């Protein structure tokens, strides 16, 4: 399967999934059309659906990030090949080794290489443009998801203040949300995986969850100004003390907080690499005049 075909299929799947998630969120929002908050049982079902969408959406964002990085890498390779072609063309040919036929073969090879580079460059540019277009669609759905998350939290907070949901019911709801994963069709396996995940995410865990050099843990959000208990994910690189902080949420499951943090780490590393490349480019330009 060619590079262009791979990107095309990945992007088509991303667009289809985004549209599906958008419609699912619209249906969930309809359940908040009235002024009355849904029951605790209904909220648990709604929140679980929302978290499934959030996890899948974050995974798509991660794949788009990988495609962007791939296109950027290919773009750098293409620029290197272009420089190599220019260098080869300007090199003096040793007369004792070069016949007219051999010179013609080298010239033809350079023409073919230049044509291949031109085609590759066009595909990469189209790929980056397409990824950017799809990313915008995903961002719109993500924004809709963030707004829905706030709606759920607002509804829960009002229900708690009005006494229609007790503190014990809130705790039970949060426990139900956070104690399982959605990786398997077997409920017991999801519970066991959820328990293991929670053990790995304790701040001083003996078996911490690590991702690309960062240790991830969950904490109560110290910046929370609501009456709901909100949590957030923190990622820290112990050697360098680099730190990435996630958004606080009541209704996001542990699994979703982790997936979102992995995506934030990917973005952080991508920005760090980009800044380092720019810095090196500027340094080289200054050195070389």
CATH of the domain at 61: 1.20.1460
| Domain identity same for 151 and 202 | no
Asked if residue 100 and residue 186 are part of one domain, the reply reads: no
- On whether both 39 and 72 belong to a single domain, the answer is yes
Task: Answer for the pair 148, 50: CB distance below 8 angstroms, yes or no.
Answer: yes
| Within-domain flag for 209 | yes
Provide the whole-model pTM. Answer: 0.65
Average pLDDT on 153-169 reads: 80
Q: Are 248 and 228 in contact (CB under 8 A)?
A: no
157 & 263 share domain: no
Rounded to an integer, what distance in angstroms lies between the CA atom of residue 97 and that of residue 74?
34
User: What are the tens digits of pLDDT across the range 245-283?
Assistant: 998 888 888 888 888 898 889 888 877 765 555 445 444
Residue 176 covered by a domain: no
143 located within any domain: yes
State residue 165 phi and psi, 5-degree precision: -130, 125
Does 186 lie in the same domain as 159? no
**14 in the same domain as 110:** yes
Cα-based distances in Å from 70 to 35, 63, 73? 47, 10, 5
Domain span at 113: 1-165
Q: Retrieve residue 120's tokens.
A: 């590759």
Tokens of 230: 């909100």
Interval 201-247: pLDDT, tens:
988 888 999 999 999 999 988 888 777 778 899 999 988 889 999 98
Please report the beta strands in 153-284, taking only residues with DSSP state E, as ranges in sequence order.
209-211, 214-220, 231-237, 242-245
At a CB cut-off of 8 Å and minimum separation 6, what does 134 contact? 11, 14, 15, 18, 64
Adjacent-strand bridge partners of 235: 216, 244
Same domain assignment for residues 3 and 61 = yes
In a domain, 173, yes or no: no
CA 94 from chain center: how many Å? 53
Tally of structural domains, the chain: 2
Same domain? 286 vs 189: yes
């Amino acid at each position: 399967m060619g590079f262009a075909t791979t990107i095309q299929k990945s992007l088509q799947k991303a667009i289809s999934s985004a549209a599906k998630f958008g419609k699912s969120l619209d249906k969930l929002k309809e359940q908040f059309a009235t002024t009355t908050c849904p029951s605790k049982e209904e909220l648990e079902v709604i929140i679980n659906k929302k978290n499934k969408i959030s996890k899948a959406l974050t995974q798509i964002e991660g794949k788009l990030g990988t495609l962007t990085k791939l296109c950027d890498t290919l773009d750098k390779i293409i620029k290197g090949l272009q420089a190599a072609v220019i260098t080869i063309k300007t090199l003096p040919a040793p007369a004792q080794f070069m016949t007219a036929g051999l010179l013609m073969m080298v010239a033809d090879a350079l023409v073919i290489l230049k044509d291949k580079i031109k085609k590759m460059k066009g595909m990469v540019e189209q790929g980056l443009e397409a990824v950017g277009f799809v990313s915008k669609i995903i961002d719109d759905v993500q924004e809709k998801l963030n707004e829905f998350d706030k709606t759920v939290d607002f509804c829960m907070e009002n229900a708690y203040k009005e006494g229609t949901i007790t503190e014990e019911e809130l705790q039970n709801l949060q426990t139900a949300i956070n104690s399982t994963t959605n990786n398997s069709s077997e409920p017991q396996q999801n519970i066991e995986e959820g328990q293991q995940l929670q053990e790995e995410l304790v701040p001083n865990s003996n078996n911490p969850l690590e991702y690309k050099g960062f240790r991830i843990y969950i904490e109560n959000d110290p910046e929370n100004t609501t009456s709901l208990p909100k949590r957030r994910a923190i990622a820290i690189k112990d050697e360098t003390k680099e730190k990435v902080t996630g958004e606080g949420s009541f209704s996001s499951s542990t699994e979703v907080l982790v997936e979102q943090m992995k995506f934030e780490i990917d973005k952080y590393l991508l920005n760090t690499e980009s800044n380092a490349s720019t810095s090196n480019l500027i340094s080289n330009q200054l050195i070389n005049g």
